[in-house]
Amino acid sequence: MQFGVDKCKILSIKKGKLVHNSYYALNNGETIEPMNEISTYKYLGFNKSRQIQQKQTKIDLTTKFKHRLNLILKSELNSRNIVKAINTFAIPVLTYSFGIINWSQTDLQKLQRTIHTKHTKFRKHHPKSCIQRLTLPRQEGGRGLIDIHNLHNKQITTLRQYFHTKSEHSALHRHASEKDTKLTPLNLHDRQPQTNEKLTDPKQKIATWAGKSLHGRHRYHLCQT
């Protein structure tokens, strides 16, 4: 049995700086070559070197998300099952990164807009139909799609609450919270509510929908039944 030394790399960091030419010698005489500044390794699904490659990871996740979205919309599923498939097969690709990758609110809006445009492209949603309906529950007359913006912000809130609760009894969590000064999207050092924790109230979406002269008629008829 042979050990795949050719597949191994070593990364040496001293005081935050990459140490070059740091070869590691094995007992059998073989050496493990060091990583260069461009090389990355994958840990828990994210490409890293000295830190997570935020930009590249966003591109990879977005590409995978769009690919799964296309697969679902190309299928012959009915409307209800398409929404269920998107919620359970496509969106979880992004969910795993929330709280780790620094998604801006603009990024989240683009991802949500991608769902809207793909629906229109594959004739699953009329281009002039009400957008607010897509992310409203079916009980309210909506389509039942997950709101990516709200999902992200909810997860940020949940993770922050978890760390802050654990830090009262765990030295490890307390130390991590003290050191995280905007190092992650959680910003655990600041106990005040963050801008990436704000949620869009479904009642606000319903009010916007009902206030439209044409699309609001459907909401009006739903309320009458």
By DSSP bridging, strand 24-25 and strand 31-32 are antiparallel
Q: How far apart are CA 94 and CA 182, in angstroms?
A: 21
Asked if residue 37 has pLDDT above 80, the reply is no
Asked if residue 7 has pLDDT above 80, the reply is no
Asked if residue 63 has pLDDT above 90, the reply is yes
Banded pLDDT at 1 (limits 50, 70, 90): low
Report pLDDT for 14: 77
Contact by Cβ (8 Å): 129, 76: no
User: What are the pLDDT digits (tens) for 68-114?
Assistant: 999 999 998 999 999 999 999 999 999 989 998 999 999 999 999 99
144 or 50, greater pLDDT: 144
Banded pLDDT at 119 (limits 50, 70, 90): very high
Report pLDDT for 113: 94
Asked if residue 148 has pLDDT above 90, the reply is yes
By DSSP bridging, strand 13-14 and strand 17-18 are antiparallel
* pTM of the shown model: 0.80
147 or 47, greater pLDDT: 147
3-state SS track over 103-165: CCHHHHHHHHHHHHHHHHHCCCCCCCCCCHHHHCCHHHCCCCCCCHHHHHHHHHHHHHHHHHH
Report pLDDT for 175: 92
Contact by Cβ (8 Å): 148, 92: no
Question: 53-74: string of b/e by CB count within 10 Å (b at 16+)?
Answer: beeebbebbbeebbebbeebbe
Q: How far apart are CA 83 and CA 163, in angstroms?
A: 33
Q: How far apart are CA 195 and CA 108, in angstroms?
A: 14
Report pLDDT for 38: 72
Banded pLDDT at 6 (limits 50, 70, 90): confident
User: What are the pLDDT digits (tens) for 162-211?
Assistant: 999 999 999 999 999 998 898 889 999 998 988 888 898 888 888 888 88
Query: What average pLDDT is seen over the chain?
Result: 86
Class of residue 14 by CB neighbours under 10 A (exposed 0-12, middle 13-18, buried 19+)? exposed
For 126, the token pair is 């009329």
